[in-house]
Amino acid sequence: MIAHIRDTPLPQAGKAVGIQTIGMTMRFGSFTALDNVSIDVPAGTFHALLGENGAGKSTLVKCIMGFYHQTSGSLSVDGREVAVQSPRDAATYGLGMVYQQFTLVPSLTGAENLVINRTHVPAVINWAKERKDLAAFMERMPFKIALDRPVRELAAGEKQKLEIVKQLYLGRSFLILDEPTSVLTPAEADEMLGLVRGMTERGELTVLMISHKFHEVTKFTDAVTVLRRGKMAGGGLVKDLTTKDMAAMMIGDVKLAELDTRLPVPADAKPILVVSDIRAPDRTGLKMIDIGSLTVHAGEIVGIAGISGNGQKELAEVLAGQRPADAGSITVKGSLYGATRQETRINNVRFIPEEPLNNACAPKMTVTENLAFRTFDVKREGGDALWLDMKSMRKRAASLILDFKVKTASQSSPIASLSGGNVQRAVLARELTGDVDLLIVSNPCFGLDFSAVAEIRARIMKARNAGTAVLLLSEDLDELLEMSDRIMVMSDGKLVYETPALSADISVIGAHMAGHH
Amino acid sequence: MEDTGIGLWGVPLAIFSGAIRVSTPFIFVSLGESITERSGRINLGLEGTLVFGAMTAYAIAVMSNSPWLGVLAAMATGAVFGLLHGWICKFPKVNDIAIGIAMMQFGLGLAFFLGKPFIQPVAPHLPSISLGGWSNYPQIQSALNINVLFIIGALLAVALWWAFKNTRVGLILRVVGDSSDAARAMGLNPDTVRLLATAVGGSLAAVGGAYLSLYYPGSWNEGISSGQGLMAVALVIFARWNPIGCFLAALLFGGAGALGPALQSVGVTQGYYLFYAAPYVLTLFILVATSSPTRSLAGAPGALSITK
């Protein structure tokens, strides 16, 4: 055996293993998702895997982890070829993966999550002993996490750390991290990657990280491999490459949509959205969100920064009328706003929630029907429609699909069959068509590739320049800095800091996000 | 009323003994269902399993003259019903609720068909334990005559509550019930776990049936169940999937159910039929009072779906 499964929490550090893929190829029917990819990740290095959505990154790591069985090609661990048929096999060689979507079980505590993931769990768990072992193990972990709380109560950042801790607890010495910092604050991300980097430098761990963020790649990793459309597009040592080189390898010669020049906000811009003294319970019912005052003017983008789980979602829900507020008022264009369909229509309020497939679409209905959600019940000449005008619905959908470059097999496909970026484009098409005075957007670019991100940001900026008031809730600080006129920070249910985006200091924002204020 | 000797004390006493008597089948069905639902599946067929269990237990007890053999046989058939439900549900796009309703009708029909010859014969009853020897009042003695299955059910509730937290099987069950993806990521097969959980749930529900035919009311006929199998499913949700909660909810439900007969026994003759509805009114009231539109249901297994 090359490596035996380390099954109990070891107080001493692990020893890194290196991996190599040779000619890895994966075909699904006639489609080649991965084409002859060979990468080499020596023991104790921090390797980045770059590529757009659909470039084959996840296919590659799924082949390494045994989720897929490659059509051809091989995997070596520490120089010896191994056959990995399942994630369990991968575990015996010390290979582990932290997924983008969490694999922790929400209703179990951190400690329960760690223990149940071991290969050999005793039939009866001696919690006194386990707690002692866990405490000893956590001593040498760089992350501090409350292990006795149910995971569902942890913030996304804490969950991410717990995912990594789980892999280390299980004794993995080669880790694949799938966009590990997407839900963390810049300071948290730096801290975590720094600690992971430290472990690789000490030879305890080898890391292959899927990332979209160049500054992370240049700051923390040793080497990079870039995939494009399933093929190796390039790679090398990070110190030999510039960000520009990497971007060119990633996207090839596709032209990205450019942001319109930001028009200045006129001094007399009218306030469109005014929120005052809103109080509402959060999802757990234990905490409250408490928004003192929030105003968005015509033609400006107000960005709300914050770590997920600090009340942004609840704020968006209150504004969308999905969550009743206990106190306070929302006015849109000077009149009280209760988010009824009528008020939404009169005031031209549009809403793009996060995870639009679940929150803004009926997944099993067709693209055409989903695109008509704002308009199906009004006649073209005004007044309530009694019958659906299928013909004009189809015509309108066809032009929106074309205009917003939504890729779909057919406009009568269920919208759930579209990729994430295309669902986002479809929702954007629906919400940004017609007169829009107020646009509320939540994490519009989460998990999308470069061209989709550029496209969506350009659309939002265009709407802003045309005089739409935009409230942008995002967990991605880079996005907020690029898009916003003003940035406000939400922490623990309150707006705790406000700054013009131009003069924003990222470390001050980070500190407020983390609750140090 | 004069000759009872304890007067109006008869009412709480009757409620107490009624609670124990009526709650026992609820305890077993709801504990079984809590296991099944914790694994992420709903088995609505337990009403059919319960009645089939009642028939099997009675028939085997008649033939073997051993009530315990009857209980074991009921458990075996309950497990078979559970396995059938679990096996059908593992096919893609099969809705567990619809299958549950079909299984319920199947169980009822089969039990009535096979149980015809056993309506006449008399089966030996399950034993009970007398804890009321210290009292001179026959009412207290009879109220403290506690059936063995109730005691087993109480112990089982505590054992399950402990096992969900402290055993490998318990944790695996909760993992599968909360997130099929997480379960697959750790190499567990959710379908297998749910299959077994449904089988165990079925066998416990059948014990509830055995209690009906072998203790109280203690005979086999087609009207033996008054929907205990269905109500117990609601009790599990009411008890938030907590076994001890299931036990207490069953007691509460049993006590409320005993209110009508108890009032009748002390001479209240007006409107006692209304009190027969007490358990259902109580359940509705508590469910409304404890739910909230702005909060998610705490403790609900994440993989439990009604819209598969």
In a domain, A5, yes or no: no
Interval B104-149: pLDDT, tens? 999 999 999 999 999 889 999 999 988 888 888 887 888 888 999 9
* Out of A88, A104, A125, closest to residue B166 by CB: A125
Q: Residue A378 sits in which domain range?
A: 356-434
The pLDDT of residue A1 is 34
Does the CB of B299 have a partner CB in chain A at under 8 Å? yes
Domains in chain A, number: 3
Question: Using CA atoms, how far apart are residues B211 and B217, in angstroms rounded to an integer?
Answer: 8
Flag whether residue A283 sits within 8 Å of chain B, measured between CB atoms. Answer: yes
Shared domain for A52 and A120, answered yes or no, is yes
Could you tell me if A222 and A22 are in contact, meaning their C-beta atoms sit under 8 angstroms apart? no
Mark whether A284 and A238 lie in a shared domain: no
Asked whether residue A476 is domain-assigned, the answer is yes
Q: How far apart are the first and last CA of chain A?
A: 53
Burial of A129 by CB count in 10 Å (0-12 exposed, 13-18 middle, 19+ buried)? exposed
Which chain A residue shows the shortest CA-CA distance from B167? A124
Q: Which residue has the higher pLDDT, B5 or A497?
A: A497
pLDDT at A183 exceeding the cut of 90: no
Q: Residue A11 has what pLDDT?
A: 35
Least confident residue range of A109-118, A313-322, A446-455, B127-136: A446-455
CB B246 within 8 Å of CB B156: no
| In a shared domain, residues A312 and A242 | no
Task: State residue A452's pLDDT score.
Answer: 79
One domain, residues A157 and A232: yes
Question: Can you give the residue range of the structural domain that contains B171?
Answer: 22-129+147-307
Q: Residues of A19-30 as b/e, b for ≥16 C-beta within 10 angstroms? A: bbbeebbbeeee
What average pLDDT does the segment A293-317 reach?
90
Q: Where are the alpha helices (DSSP H) in A303-382?
A: 312-320, 341-347, 356-359, 367-371
Instruction: Say yes or no for a CB contact (<8 Å) between A123 and B185.
Output: no
Integer Cα distance of A154 and B250 in angstroms = 34
**Shared-domain flag, residues A425 and A444:** no
Q: Please state the rounded mean pLDDT for residues A207-215.
A: 87
Within-domain flag for A7: no
More confident residue, B287 or B161: B161
Q: Which of B179, B294, B296 sits opposite A105 (nearest CB)?
A: B179
HEC profile of B154-182:
HHHHHHHHHHHHHEHHHHHHHHHHHCHHH
- What residue in A sits closest to B166 (Cα-Cα)? A125
Q: Would residue B12 count as lying in a domain? A: no
pTM over 0.95: no
Write the CATH number for B289. 1.10.3470
Q: For residues A91 and A174, what is the distance between their CA atoms, to the nearest angstrom?
A: 9
Among A235, A261, A258, which Cα is nearest to A246's?
A235
Q: What is the mean pLDDT of residues A408-434?
A: 87
Nearest to B187 among A87, A104, A285 (CB): A87
Mutate to test the interface with B, among A86, A99, A107 (most CBs of B within 10 A): A107
Return d(Cα A254, Cα A267) in angstroms, integer: 38
Torsion of CA B56, B57, B60, B61, to 10 degrees: -150
pLDDT in the model for residue B209: 95
Strand-pair partners of A109: A150
Are A116 and B181 in contact (CB < 8 Å)?
Answer: no
Report the SS3 class of residue A271. strand
Q: Give the mutation candidate from A68, A86, A105, A358 for the B interface (greatest B CB count, under 10 A).
A: A105
Nearest-angstrom CA–CA distance, A125 and A146:
20
- Residue A173 is classified by DSSP as S
Q: What is the pLDDT of residue A226?
A: 92
**Whether residues A99 and A197 fall in one domain:** yes
pLDDT digits (tens, 9 = 90+) for A161-182: 898 889 888 888 899 998 888 7
Check whether A145 has a pLDDT greater than 90: no
Q: Say if residue A27 is in the same domain as residue A93.
A: yes
pLDDT above 90: residue B259: no
CB-CB: which of B167, B174, B299 is closest to A105?
A: B174
Q: How confident is the model at residue B292 (pLDDT cuts 50, 70, 90)?
A: low
Give yes or no for residue A207 having a pLDDT over 60: yes
According to the model, what pLDDT value does residue B72 have?
96
Higher-pLDDT residue of B10, B307: B10
- Residue B297 clears pLDDT 70, i.e. is over it: no
Element (H or E) spanning B2, and its range? none
Cβ A195 vs Cβ A188: under 8 Å: no
Mean pLDDT across A462-470: 93
**In one letter, which amino acid is B70?**
G
pLDDT at position A254, please? 66
B187 touches A at CB < 8 Å: yes
Torsional sign, CA A264, A460, A157, A282: positive
B11 band by pLDDT with thresholds 50, 70 and 90: confident
Average pLDDT over residues A362-390: 88
Rounded Cα distance between A15 and A43, Å, is: 9
Check whether A471 has a pLDDT greater than 90. yes
Separation in Å, CA of A116 to nearest CA in chain B:
7
What distance in Å separates the CA atoms of residue A318 and residue A338, rounded to the nearest whole number? 9
pLDDT, residue B150, reads 95
CA of B104: how far to CAs of A24, A294, B95, B211, in Å?
52, 56, 14, 19
**Residues A514, B105: Cα–Cα separation, whole Å:** 57
Q: In this predicted model, what pLDDT tens digit does every residue of B62-120 receive, in sequence order?
A: 999 999 999 999 999 999 999 999 999 988 888 899 999 999 999 999 999 999 999 88
- My answer on whether A236 and A294 are in the same domain is no
Residue B6 covered by a domain = no
CA–CA distance, A116 with A109 (Å, rounded to integer)? 11
Q: Is residue B105 part of a domain?
A: yes
Share of chain B above pLDDT 70, in %: 94
Distance CA B252, CA A262 (A): 66
3-state secondary structure of A224: strand
Mean pLDDT on A442-460: 83
Note the pLDDT of residue A209: 94
- Looking at chain A, the whole-number percentage of residues with pLDDT higher than 70 is 95
Lowest-pLDDT choice from A9-23, A71-85, A401-415: A9-23
A219-228, A380-389, A508-517, B297-306: segment of lowest average pLDDT: B297-306
Tokens of A192: 């975590």
Alpha-carbon Rg for chain B, nearest whole angstrom, is 20
Instruction: Please tell me whether residues A392 and A482 are part of one structural domain.
Output: no
CA distances from B63 to A184, B108, B112, B117, B302 (A): 68, 21, 18, 12, 45
Mean pLDDT, rounded, for B274-282 = 81
Final residue before a domain boundary, out of A214, A247, A280: A247
pLDDT value at residue B293 = 64
With 90 as the cut, is the pLDDT of residue B12 above it?
Answer: no
Structural domain includes residue B102:
yes
Q: Is the backbone peptide bond immediately before B217 cis, with ω within 30 degrees of 0?
A: yes
The H or E element containing residue B38 is: helix B10-38
Residue A273: strand pairing partners: A296, A332
How many domains, in total, are found in chain B? Answer: 1
- B264 versus A42: which is more confidently predicted? A42
Residue of B nearest to A153 (CA): B298
Cα R_g (chain A), whole angstroms:
25
> Does residue A117 form part of some domain?
yes
Q: Is residue B98 part of a domain?
A: yes
**Does the pLDDT at position A3 exceed 50?**
no
Closest by Cα among B174, B181, B114 to B301: B174
Q: In this complex, do A116 and B172 lie within 8 Å of one another by their Cβ atoms?
A: yes
Q: Are residues A342 and A327 in the same domain?
A: yes
Q: Summarize the confidence of residues B234-244 as an average pLDDT.
A: 89
The H-or-E segment that residue B270 falls in is: none
Do A170 and A24 fall within a single domain?
A: yes
**Dist. CA A317–CA B43, nearest whole Å:** 34
The CATH number of the domain holding residue A32 is 3.40.50.300
**What mean pLDDT do residues B19-47 have?**
94
Q: Which residue of B has its CA nearest to A127?
A: B166
Residue A264 lies in a domain: no
**What pLDDT, on the 0 to 100 scale, is given for residue B308?**
41
A140 found inside a domain:
yes
Residue B19 clears pLDDT 70, i.e. is over it: yes
- Mean pLDDT of chain A, nearest integer: 86
Measure the CA–CA gap between A365 and A360, rounded to whole angstroms: 12
Q: Which residue has the tokens 């629906």?
A: A430
pLDDT at A187: 72
Residue-wise pLDDT tens digits, B163-199: 999 999 999 999 999 888 888 877 789 999 999 999 9
Residues A235, A363 share a domain? no
| pLDDT at residue number A517 | 61
* Spatial separation of the C-alpha atoms in residues A147 and A164, rounded to whole Å: 14
Mean pLDDT of all residues belonging to chain B: 88
The answer to whether A125 and A167 are in contact (CB under 8 A) is no
Q: Using the beta-carbon criterion (under 8 Å), do A108 and B186 form an inter-chain contact?
A: no
**Is-contact A224 A235, C-beta < 8 A?**
yes
